[in-house]
């Protein structure tokens, strides 16, 4: 098995640790800085996520995590890109919940059906606001989705339909909105 450092995730968690530094500057030492590793085993590639000093170890739960956020009580939110979900861990690394687990349903769903779906397709970023709402960049669905703190879909912003500037009159309904 070959293990390689993933520098992009390291940058994300270094940002995360800055929050802890601000809250408790005397409790941080150089040995505290995290190490992230991704195994490159040809038979079964897997991701590993570890923080030193027995603070947090998450292994084989994430598949290409690409975004990290922390809420006011220390819960950690990760955009688990290749598993098409946002995962939430408590400050000790225990999995609390998984939000959105599959890609959008088949193409024969209407756009209004897709807008109501909390399913994700390769989320690449995550943020949490002061009241606990979760914002996810749903990359391959070309939208931002907003969930409440329990994981219920509140809003979907954007869609593939709005990306084209070459719309014709036949692309618009009677009210002038794009179909």
What SS3 state is found at 169?
A: helix
Contact 44, 53 (CB under 8 A): no
> Is residue 101 a contact partner of residue 87, using CB atoms and an 8 Å limit?
no
The predicted pLDDT at position 156 comes to: 92
Beta bridge partners of 134: 128, 147
Backbone phi, psi, residue 3, to 5°: -120, 130
For residues 55 and 23, the answer to whether their CB atoms sit within 8 Å is no
Query: Residue 93 has what pLDDT?
Result: 79
Q: Which pLDDT score is estimated for 68? A: 87
pLDDT in tens, the chain (179 residues): 333 444 444 444 444 444 333 332 332 333 333 444 443 444 444 444 444 444 455 555 678 888 888 888 988 898 988 889 999 988 877 889 999 866 554 444 555 454 456 889 999 999 999 999 999 999 999 999 999 999 999 999 987 654 444 555 555 555 555 44
pTM of the model: 0.57
For 3-158, the fitting CATH number among 3.30.530.20, 2.40.10.500, 1.10.10.10, 2.60.40.10 is: 2.40.10.500
Q: Where exactly are the structural domains of the chain?
A: 3-158
Tell me what pLDDT residue 102 has. 62
Check if the beta carbon of residue 133 is closer than 8 Å to that of residue 154: yes
């Amino acid at each position: 098995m070959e293990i390689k450092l993933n520098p992009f995730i390291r940058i994300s968690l270094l940002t995360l640790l800055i929050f802890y530094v601000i809250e408790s500057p005397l409790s941080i030492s150089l040995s505290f800085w995290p190490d992230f590793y991704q195994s490159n085993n040809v038979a079964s590639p897997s991701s590993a996520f570890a923080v030193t000093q027995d603070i947090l170890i998450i292994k084989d739960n994430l598949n290409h995590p690409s975004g990290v956020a922390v809420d006011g009580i220390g819960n950690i939110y990760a955009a688990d890109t290749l598993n098409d979900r946002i995962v939430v861990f408590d400050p000790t690394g225990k999995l609390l919940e998984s939000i959105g687990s599959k890609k959008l349903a088949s193409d024969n769903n209407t756009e209004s059906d897709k807008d109501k779906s909390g399913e994700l397709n390769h989320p690449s970023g995550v943020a949490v606001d002061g009241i606990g709402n979760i914002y996810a960049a749903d990359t391959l669905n070309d939208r931002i989705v907003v969930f409440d703190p329990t994981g219920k879909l509140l809003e979907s912003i954007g869609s593939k339909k709005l990306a084209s500037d070459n719309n014709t009159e036949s692309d618009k309904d009677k009210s002038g909105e794009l179909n």
